[in-house]
Structure 1
Amino acid sequence: MKIKRAKKLSSAALFILLFLFSISPAINSYGENDGIPRLTIKELKKMIDEKVEVTIIDVQPLNIYEKGHIKGAISIPWKSQLVLEDVWVIPSGIPIVTYCACGEGEADSNDFAKQLMKMGYNDVKVLKHPAIQGWIEALYPVDKK
């Protein structure tokens, strides 16, 4: 009796582990698994070096942006409900990259990107973790204001 119960528990535990491992890449790639593409630090640096026109948006609070941000990035702090007055400076028809310092899920920049897409911006990506920290550690250009 104990052996059958142990086998059932082992089977259930194995099933749960397999399920969690099968969905973890999707969660890691897209934060909330919403399909917003991620861009690595190296990919963004390459775009900048190749002079690809791109709008880079730092969604952190202004006081953090002023301490150091990706060179050329504009500050539009994250908020739960963006309105047109918040995003009027973003040109349409140009790729957009959002970033924050929120950790693995890029929560603020991911939500900001989703809001932009709902407002009609099409080519929106999120800079993958470690985002600004990784950019600084790689000694890529940073501005302070």
Structure 2
Amino acid sequence: MIKMIHPIAGGTALLTISTFWLSTAFSELFASQSAITAVKTAIPWGFLVLIPALAATTGSGLALSQGRRAGLIGAKIKRMPLIAANGLLVLVPAAFFLAHKAKAAELDAVFYAVQALELVAGAANITLLLLNARDGLRMKARSCNR
């Protein structure tokens, strides 16, 4: 069961973060202020999906690792604190700040500076999650070839 939960939860987390990132980028580049406001105020609601998905991914991953810390498992485990810290210290506060500013129709220089930081931090988390997915697929391929 855990072998099913881990990739589903990880895929859900990656898809959710990617959706946040792409929605933000497209609304900023091509949409109206009201669309930007809609996107920025919707993103914190997405945490109701994202946070449990990340928790399930981490918990199931640790259970699957069975205490091993070498090789690809070790690389995945080393990335998780970076993903979590980036999310908790940068992305979540930025999302709430941007939602507040957007709701108040304050799309000013501070809004766009935080928006730029959020896009960079989000891209970093997407990259780290993709690296973890790649390593997970490599581990699965190795276990299938045995």
Specify which structure has the bigger relative contact order, considering alpha-carbon pairs within 8 angstroms and separated by 6 or more residues: 2
More strand by share: 1
For the pair shown, the structure with the greater C-alpha radius of gyration is: 1
More helix by share: 2
